[in-house]
Chains A and B, each alone.
Chain A
């Protein structure tokens, strides 16, 4: 069964304290790994897509990397406004020629001032 596991479930950082979130996956036929940010009571906001092992994407204080088994979301010198739940999802074949996303349960990041 295809699995996406995010760790830790929750992470509390001080402002400026860099860290990483992990997303490990056991899927066959990966066709993309996605990172989303979700604020309380809102829909997920797209951050990055990674398609190949070794690929990296950056946006402001965030950097996403991908290996054959996992992805990391590195947060450099975080600010309180980076506090959110970060979701990882993998795109896999859903029978026939259609694809679907399978999501991890998310990491709740809190950055204290």
Chain B
């Protein structure tokens, strides 16, 4: 079974703090993704990575950065947290096989920025 884990289920931070969200997958997947999910807006892609040390902006990258130093780990960084970054953050991983790809999600981190 694919296992994607996220470092925290719930997190409370103050405005201006630097926040690290960690994601680890154990299936040797090349691709990893960070999304945020908000009521009425659905899942939106923040960043993704298709290889170690590679990253590509998604649809809403502003205010975020990412790091992929090892294949199994993908970190999302909020350099200076703001209240509008309060959200559910979801990590996913996938691999490509014969042009087919399926993303598997972690349990999510619910972040509250005060």
Binding site for B on A (CB under 8 A): 31-32, 34, 36, 41-46, 49, 51, 87, 89, 91, 94-95, 98-106
Q: Is the CB of B110 within 8 A of A46?
A: no
Q: With A and B bound together, what is the CA distance between A43 and B110 in angstroms?
A: 11
Q: Is the CB of A41 within 8 A of B110?
A: yes
- Interface size of B by CB at 8 A reads 25
Binding site for A on B (CB under 8 A): 4, 33, 40-45, 48, 50, 56, 58, 90, 92, 99-108, 110
Known: A87-B43, A103-B42, A104-B42. A43 touches B105 (CB 8 A): yes
Q: Which residue of B lies closest to A95 (CB)?
A: B56
Q: Is the CB of A32 within 8 A of B40?
A: no
B-chain residues with CB within 8 Å of residue A34 when the two chains form the complex: 102-103
Q: Is the CB of A101 within 8 A of B45?
A: yes
Q: Is the CB of B107 within 8 A of A43?
A: yes
A-chain residues with CB within 8 Å of residue B58 when the two chains form the complex: 94, 100
B-chain residues with CB within 8 Å of residue A99 when the two chains form the complex: 101
Q: Is the CB of A32 within 8 A of B101?
A: yes
Q: Is the CB of A41 within 8 A of B108?
A: yes
Which of A41, A45, A98, A106 contacts B56, CB < 8 Å? A98
Which of B33, B100, B103, B104 contacts A51, CB < 8 Å? B100
Q: With A and B bound together, what is the CA distance between A36 and B43 in angstroms?
A: 12
How many Å from the CB of B70 to the closest CB on chain A? 20
Known: A32-B101, A87-B43, A100-B45. A42 touches B107 (CB 8 A): yes
